Structure 1
Amino acid sequence: MDARAFVDTIGVNTHLWYGDTSYGDYAMVKRRLLAIGVRHIRDGFAPDRAPTFFDRVNDLARAGIRSTLIACRVEPPGASWKTYVRDAKTKVRSSLDALEGVNEPDLVAPGPAWPARTRACQREIFRRSKGSTFGAPLRVPVIGPSPQADNGQLGDISDRADGGTMHPYPGGRAPDSADQLTSDHYTFTSQMADVRRNQFAGARVPVYATETGYHDALNTTSSHAPVSPRAAAIYMPRLFLEYAKAGVKRTFAYELVDERADPALADVELNYGLFESDWSAKPSAIALKNTIALLDSPRKSPRTPLRFALANTADPDGTGPRGSIEHMLLQKANGAHWLALWQDSRAWDENARADIANPATAVKLTLGRSMSLTSYRPTQSTNATDRRTVRSFTADVGDGVLLIRITPPRA
């Protein structure tokens, strides 16, 4: 995969109009977004906060950060789409990545009416965005709503959306799960397949994970389990890599900053941030920042092939159900290949609420010829941890991502 394209799959949720929370300090919002290196945010239209909200969206776009904006509500009943589509075309047209349908309509406005209201609103924002109402058509995708309990109730929306959305929160588990919804075995890839089957008649439309991530309210009694800050730092780079590898168009971590301080660590909604409410970085923010810094590229790569083979010495035939090794190969514009390796293992016991110390697995990397290899562990830093020029190399792969830069040896 192109390294820049991978970084472009990474986004984060913000609340630019939550003036009475940490988001009220817009200077810090912008500073932290730029520090992490993300180029995409997700937020919701706030016409009652205009023009401040629109000024901030446009200011971020000038800094290279574009927005996916929720453009419809089902509560209270009304034609909110009229205001949102008008503002999209007249206030923030050049700052948009996409418009999105209703956020979690079955949770926000439960009852028998939500599917019909959601479909109606989706039809209007799609039709008006693509048409000449309020100005020339928008040249950005209009993606679907994000029902949580049962996305099948919504029905087919292929005539009113360019792609689907999902919110596959892993709870206290590893990134490949989406256990907030159903069973232990319900994965984010299962949810992506459900969205395509139930809402797009099985067509392979783009699917966006417009919310996912972890909270660290370690004392919560909520069924949505927490993880430790350490586990979140291990999981966050893996989450973005696994989602991109599976074909998720863009993934938005929820959320940038804890909205308020919660010394008791009991309120789930106040502990999702990559940053504490005082804007100090959590380990997950540092891990994500390091991953982006190492993998970002100024332009697309030339896509040259790399011959390599991996052998897991603990599971040579690849039959192990967990603790197996995942990988993803990326390439930068300068031609360098970057191999990401990680254990498909749990870093957190959600029942005992305790960190898990996983022993490293010895993984043998064999290349087609001798190459220069430089290793990095972004959960810890952007500093190189190993350098060598070899054709074969055995690396210790843990539950955190290991990045190996592979380049031709210097003459």
Structure 2
Amino acid sequence: MALWTYDFLDRLGVVTHVRYSDGAYRDHAGTLEKLRYLGLDRIRDTAPKAGAKLPYKRYLDAGVRFCMSCSPSGAAVSDASRVGEVLDRILAAFPGARGVDFLEGPNEPNNQPIAFAGVKDTKTSFEAVKSYMAALHPELRRRREFDQIPLLGVANYPRLQVASDMENEHPYPMKGTQPRSAMAKVLTGRKRPVVITEFGYNTGPPSRFPTPVDEYTQALLTLNGLFDAVSLGARRTYVYELLDEKPDPDFKTPNLHWGLFRYDGTPKIAARALHNLTRILRPEANAGPSGPDPKVTGLPPTARSMALQKGPGSSLVVLWNEPDIWDEAGLKPIRVAASQVQVAFPKARALRLYDPMQDERPVKEAGPSDSLKVQLGAFPQIVEIVRT
């Protein structure tokens, strides 16, 4: 059965750093404006510090919902009985845990070791993280405000088995490669639901890691990664990240170029592509019978398709292709020849073809038909089939 587009959209989110006061995120009105432009209201951030004065209510009133990374602070660093201090911090800023979708363990302890109950981890020793999660999980379940909020695990290399309700992963494809392999590695064969709390491509200067891509390629690979994640069953995927955090006009600092928007607030191609995608997929209704899945033929070996239901009388077929598109040595895109793909279905009243890399409006429209031929190159195509 086809996934409804409102379910697809609910599986999309973006990483923010609203607690940062020395860069682009200090403009909260601007951050909310950019979320509205993308059509996203699910963000992943970090639990507030004690006494935080940030305008979280402003985000909640705008309909934004949070996934928050949790780490021990204050007394919990030396006293295991104070493990709940992070939940106290959250409740001070989010009364009744309003607007909280997920909590998760400490972020990438292999890069950012923590200390808990008198034990301090290193980048290769994780006893503090394991004991912290073992104490945090029952504390979360004990508190009424959090009893329905899942605790995600810890995104770490190597993978850690910790007390949690769902898995947490950060699949970052290397060297401008397509996302399918990285997504399949973390999603295939998992026994519990997986939330991808970070995934993205960097547009910064050359370095050992992350290897940058240009803005066009970032957009294309990001869309492909979201299609892969949903089709492989990810509960949600948070793109890293919303904004380039600080100015870096000479491209000297790679980590300042993960954003969907540049530091000056202008959208990169990836932001425009996501804007187009969320509007193309905007549901017409959330109830009604779904039609039969269309039949797709002629896909090249690197391509895939996914059926979505947009409304009781309208369905979509997403076509995306993942050949090698980035010359890592030359730091430039690789041209890809198009393949002719056919989408067949019971006779429709109207057809619309969309290219989210170009526009939110159809690039082609046709009258009654029972099939459509699509030229599928490197960029995704979306066919809308209007039955009634």
TM-score of the superposed pair, with normalisation by structure 1: 0.85
Counterpart residue identity of residue 67, structure 2: T
How many residues align? The count is 372
The verdict on how the C-alpha distance between 1:386 and 1:162 changes in structure 2, with shifts beyond 3 A counting, is same
The whole-number CA distance in structure 1 between the counterparts of 2:86 and 2:141 is 14
Partner residue of 1:21?
A: 23
Using the TM superposition, name which of 118-127 and 31-40 deviates more: 118-127
Task: Check the 8 A contact 1:371/1:391 in 2, yes or no.
Answer: no
Partner residue of 1:402?
A: 381
- C-alpha deviation, 1:137, in angstroms: 4.0
Structure 1 residue ranges without an equivalent (≥5): 178-186, 197-203
Partner residue of 1:272?
A: 258
Using the TM superposition, name which of 278-287 and 39-48 deviates more: 39-48
* Aligned with residue 118 of structure 1, among 129, 154, 157: 129
The verdict on how the C-alpha distance between 1:78 and 1:404 changes in structure 2, with shifts beyond 3 A counting, is farther
Using the TM superposition, name which of 16-25 and 115-124 deviates more: 115-124
Partner residue of 1:98?
A: 102
The whole-number CA distance in structure 1 between the counterparts of 2:145 and 2:166 is 21
Task: Check the 8 A contact 2:347/2:387 in 1, yes or no.
Answer: no
Task: Check the 8 A contact 1:100/1:144 in 2, yes or no.
Answer: yes
Task: Check the 8 A contact 1:327/1:342 in 2, yes or no.
Answer: yes
The whole-number CA distance in structure 2 between the counterparts of 1:8 and 1:126 is 25
Task: Check the 8 A contact 2:48/2:93 in 1, yes or no.
Answer: no
The whole-number CA distance in structure 1 between the counterparts of 2:138 and 2:30 is 37
- C-alpha deviation, 1:81, in angstroms: 4.2
Runs of 4 or more above 6 Å deviation: none
Counterpart residue identity of residue 162, structure 1: D
Partner residue of 1:138?
A: 147
* Aligned with residue 140 of structure 2, among 115, 129, 132: 129
- C-alpha deviation, 1:305, in angstroms: 3.0
- C-alpha deviation, 1:231, in angstroms: 0.5
* Aligned with residue 375 of structure 1, among 353, 357, 381: 353
- C-alpha deviation, 1:205, in angstroms: 1.0
| 1:165 and 2:168 matched | yes
Counterpart residue identity of residue 16, structure 1: V
- C-alpha deviation, 1:301, in angstroms: 4.2
Partner residue of 2:186?
A: 191
The whole-number CA distance in structure 1 between the counterparts of 2:260 and 2:51 is 25
The verdict on how the C-alpha distance between 1:30 and 1:370 changes in structure 2, with shifts beyond 3 A counting, is closer
Partner residue of 2:111?
A: 107
The whole-number CA distance in structure 2 between the counterparts of 1:188 and 1:74 is 33
The verdict on how the C-alpha distance between 1:368 and 1:118 changes in structure 2, with shifts beyond 3 A counting, is same
User: What per-residue deviation string (whole Å, max 9, x for no partner) do you get for residues 171-215 of structure 1?
Assistant: 3111213xxxxxxxxx32222348x4xxxxxxx211011001011
| 1:12 and 2:28 matched | no
- C-alpha deviation, 1:402, in angstroms: 0.7
Partner residue of 1:335?
A: 313
Task: Check the 8 A contact 1:378/1:402 in 2, yes or no.
Answer: yes
State the Cα RMSD in Å: 2.2
Secondary structure of the structure 2 residue equivalent to 1:17: coil
The verdict on how the C-alpha distance between 1:273 and 1:33 changes in structure 2, with shifts beyond 3 A counting, is same
* Aligned with residue 195 of structure 2, among 208, 214, 226: 208
The whole-number CA distance in structure 1 between the counterparts of 2:269 and 2:216 is 6
Partner residue of 2:47?
A: 45
The whole-number CA distance in structure 1 between the counterparts of 2:255 and 2:289 is 42
Structure 2 residue ranges without an equivalent (≥5): 114-120
Pairing of 1:201-280 with structure 2 (within 5 A): 204-217=191-204, 219-280=205-266
| 1:311 and 2:311 matched | no
The whole-number CA distance in structure 1 between the counterparts of 2:251 and 2:83 is 37
* Aligned with residue 150 of structure 1, among 158, 178, 195: 158
- C-alpha deviation, 1:227, in angstroms: 1.0
The whole-number CA distance in structure 1 between the counterparts of 2:84 and 2:284 is 38
The whole-number CA distance in structure 1 between the counterparts of 2:214 and 2:136 is 40
The verdict on how the C-alpha distance between 1:364 and 1:20 changes in structure 2, with shifts beyond 3 A counting, is same
- C-alpha deviation, 1:71, in angstroms: 1.4
The whole-number CA distance in structure 1 between the counterparts of 2:231 and 2:34 is 27
- C-alpha deviation, 1:370, in angstroms: 4.1
